[in-house]
Chains A and B, each alone.
Chain A
Amino acid sequence: MTTQLAVDNVSIRYGKVEAVHRISLAVGMGQIVTVIGPNGAGKTTLLSAIMGLLPFHGEIRFEGQSLANASIEDRVENGLCLVPERRELFAEMSVADNLQLGAFCRYRRRDRTIRASLDDVYALFPRLAERREQLAGTLSGGERQMLALGRALMSKPRLLMLDEPSLGLAPRIVKEIFHTIAALQATGVSILLVEQNARVALQVADTGYVLETGELVLSGPSAELAHNPRVAQSYLGQSA
């Protein structure tokens, strides 16, 4: 399988504090890869660095191209997209405007299939279609997550990075969101998923990594990880 995203020996520091230490991981084309770990392990930091929101040491390659000199906008343009933990929606704008802006890069290069993508997103999340004129700030938590996902999909990403998509959502909505994530994989989108909810994450992912205090401690096919005694005990709440 060809590697789409290669993170090689990456360290990230906030001033003097090293939040992530010499991490290497890979996302294969069309794969779902999850990074699980407790609060403060450096999961969000890692995604921020891959997206270009934070500077990093080491090498990150996306589809063979080094990301060292690429801006956030270049990354979006090239098919990398992040749905951050805080969603970062345009709260004062309507659902439809948020989605439309998701396709900003495609609009700039005169992509004529934006309309079709919008219909696809509405088909995927009928709730968003119902609320298309509503301001994003007035949506419920689950709807916001759907909108954040929808907005990201509007850029037609080839690799989608999701930061804690289940955070603060009701179990029923989490199920719905993860159902969508699995469906996205079927359309050829690779996904790098960061989750505290290890159970659902490992269910949907092909490969998993465990990140603790800035270092990778375990990795492997997610089915194996789920049966690893350490993972089972720490993250799945089962006694060993």
Chain B
Amino acid sequence: MNLQIAALLAQDGLTNGAIYALLALALVLVFAVTRVVFVPQGEFVAFGALSLAALQNGAVPKTIWLLLAMAVIATILELVALARRRAAARAYMLAVAGWLVAPALVAALLWFAAPLKLALGWQVCLAILSVTAIGPLLYRIAIQPVAQGSVLVLLIVAVAVHFVLGGMGLLFFGAEGSRTPAFTDAMYQLGGINVSGQSLYVYGVSALAIGGLYWAFSQTLYGKALMATAFNRVGARLVGISPNFAGALTLTVAAALGAFSGVLIGPITTVYYDSGFLVGLKGFVGAIIGGLVSYPLAAAGALLIGLIESYASFWASQYKEVIVFTLIIPVLLWRSLKTRHHEEDQ
């Protein structure tokens, strides 16, 4: 291997790593706030990429039907819960507005905007929006009813959601893979090494997204409320932060990050309805390096995974996935030796 190749591999690795980093951050966030190991994170990636591909063809992403169905179910669940608590009329109106009208508006927007074949930037926004809207609904329907359960119960639910969403993906997008066009075809020379504009794009927007997250969680009260829930659930409830509110908001952020990653990965590799899982899993390995608690370590771990994967594909391309996933064993060993034992739950 010469320097030229090494640099190219590093560039590829960092591009993928940046995407894994976004997923790793989403996984750490979801786990911290809701205690769910969020297996279906990868589905958001596939949905994001495939929704964008559909929009590229002027087609309406069929996920809007999922969105509408989920909105109806979530609204019924919410209304039943309100009736049991004998809530005031205003609460019913807010529930219908939030759980039914808002997702319906998103679906309608996609329905009307899709055939217009808007500019790529708008299509990206629409694709991310349509997937993001699924996040809170998923929390309301699948996780909130078992939110008090043990980590194991939550994990089982997460696996179930993964299979259901994977099946939905096949139904909506078919078995065909899609590749979305690159955001830019520009190529730059940097000290004799070719750097693709697409990679720079990925680095730039990933860094922006991470910076945005950092800002949101350190400067905005809603972000702080999520952190507070992650740090001390009882304390958060005592100041009026509902765990359900925090959970729904967290899954919204996770869905947005997933869809965003999907849009970024779309031009790099052909995405199938089930590609998300593997991508998400690599983010998960990154998150594990951070012990599912540290955001910077998770992001760094994910970058490392990207690099290892890239070099592995050069030296032993058949074993690249094996190498990446085998890595989790020494990492877990190291972590189990290093961290003191945490009491289960709470």
Given A97-B224, A100-B221, A155-B240, CB of A69 within 8 Å of CB of B235? no
Q: Would you call B238 and A90 a contact (CB within 8 A)?
A: no
Chain A residues with Cβ below 8 Å from B228 are: 90, 93, 97, 101
Chain A min CB distance to B233 (Å): 9
B231 in complex: contacting residue of A53, A81, A91, CB < 8 Å: A91
Chain B residues with Cβ below 8 Å from A88 are: 232, 234-235, 238
Q: Would you call A69 and B86 a contact (CB within 8 A)?
A: yes
Q: Would you call B237 and A90 a contact (CB within 8 A)?
A: no
Is A73 an interface residue when CB atoms closer than 8 A count as contact? Answer: yes
Question: How many A-B Cβ pairs are below 8 Å?
Answer: 72
Given A69-B85, A69-B86, A93-B224, CB of A101 within 8 Å of CB of B241? yes
Given A90-B228, A93-B231, CB of A107 within 8 Å of CB of B238? no
Q: Would you call B224 and A51 a contact (CB within 8 A)?
A: no
Mostly, the B contact residues are helix
Given A100-B221, A101-B221, A101-B224, CB of A82 within 8 Å of CB of B238? yes
Is A128 an interface residue when CB atoms closer than 8 A count as contact? Answer: no
Chain B min CB distance to A119 (Å): 17
Interface size on A, residues (CB 8 A): 29
Is B242 an interface residue when CB atoms closer than 8 A count as contact? Answer: yes
Is B133 an interface residue when CB atoms closer than 8 A count as contact? Answer: no
Is B239 an interface residue when CB atoms closer than 8 A count as contact? Answer: yes
A73 in complex: contacting residue of B87, B227, B237, CB < 8 Å: B237
Interface residues of B (CB under 8 A from A): 84-87, 221, 224-225, 227-228, 231-232, 234-242, 245
21 cross-chain CB contacts under 8 A: A53-B237, A69-B85, A71-B85, A72-B238, A72-B240, A73-B237, A73-B240, A84-B238, A89-B232, A90-B232, A91-B232, A92-B231, A93-B231, A101-B225, A101-B241, A104-B225, A105-B240, A108-B240, A151-B239, A155-B239, A155-B240
